Amino acid sequence: MDREDALMETFLAATAASLVAALLALYLRHRRLKQRLLQSQALIRQQTILSDVGSLLASSLDINSVVETLLDGAKYLSRAQLSAVLLTEGARVKTFHTSMGPAEGCKPRATGILERVLKERLPVRAKRLSSHEAFQGLPDRHPAIESILAVPIILRDRTIGELIVANKTGSGEGFSSEDEDALLALGFQAALALEKAHLHEEVEALAITDGLTGLYNHRAFQERLEAELGRSGRFGHPLSLLMLDVDDFKRFNDTYGHQAGDRALRAVAEAVRSSIRSVDFAARYGGEEFAVLLLESPPEKSLDVAERIRQCIEGLSIKVDGSEARITVSIGVAHYPGHARDRQGLLRRADEALYIAKQRGKNQVAVPQEGA
């Protein structure tokens, strides 16, 4: 090989090396640009989801709607198979909701990862948690937990729950720090939305609650009576109305004072509340008068309930300046459809029965006269 050929070979080798280096640099630059593009797209996606979820949360006043929005938002934001919202009351798990529907009464114990999040108020990421103690007892339909990210929901320096996502999709690496930042941002929105929904519930409750006794008020009673009569009419279920009146309440107030009278009304309300089922409906109708709706209750059973209430109140002892005062009630009972078929008719017949109980000597249960 002459000198000219050697130079050409050296030149070609150098050129090839330069081309390879240039192609490699171009490839690396392309990969970096692609990574940046993917990161930018992921950031835009997260910001869009956070904005959309924030708008939904801002318009939600119902706790269940807020929770459903958080479940969907957390899952899509983190590309997770599962999501959950755990709400606490102090150190106790209050409610637990999952993206797979009702948790069937399951409340995971606040141990391990969940306990760390609540106590340290910091996010936790982990993998390979199929048998982690914090998730034992989940219904069989829930997939095994393979990777998890949990962040605290903090409201004014108080931890009120956690947002949880599990099983990162499309990646064997689990959840990333970017997922953590995004879920933390959603947790901030969650705290404000949950507070607003709780405040709305409290305002709604005040609007339908009697301030003295804690029972429902007259307006709530009238609305519920109308609704239950409609339901009973559609499905053919019996409905009973009890009207209670404290006997000689004016004399009680004149003798013991209005504060003692208020204590007596609260005691009557508690006696009524403790004597009926959770599905029944008790209200302060006005003054010293109370109303009770017994749902799907036949006449004989309703009379038994009324007599139980009467006896319970007869046995009450009201403390007044070191002494004990007694009260009794008269109760009128009317039934749908036997005594009336509409709201006004049922109220009128229950009032008639109450008047009969008063006329017969008070402290007793009565029903309307037949054919009246």
Residue with tokens 């006896």: 311
Catalytic residues: 288
57, 189 contact by CB (below 8 A): yes
**Whole-number Å distance between alpha carbons of 242 and 332:** 6
Name the residue type at position 358.
K
306, 331 contact by CB (below 8 A): yes
350, 241 contact by CB (below 8 A): yes
CA dihedral 245, 246, 249, 252 (to 10 degrees): 180
Residues forming a β-bridge with 239: 295, 336
The set of long-range contacts for 50-56, using a CB threshold of 8 Å and a minimum separation of 24, is 50/77, 50/182, 50/185, 50/186, 50/189, 53/77, 53/186, 53/189, 54/189
**Entry field: residues in the chain:** 372
Phi/psi of residue 9, nearest 5 degrees = -65, -40
Residue with tokens 């982690």: 132
Between the CA of residue 53 and those of 41, 74, 176, 350, what are the distances in Å? 18, 9, 21, 51
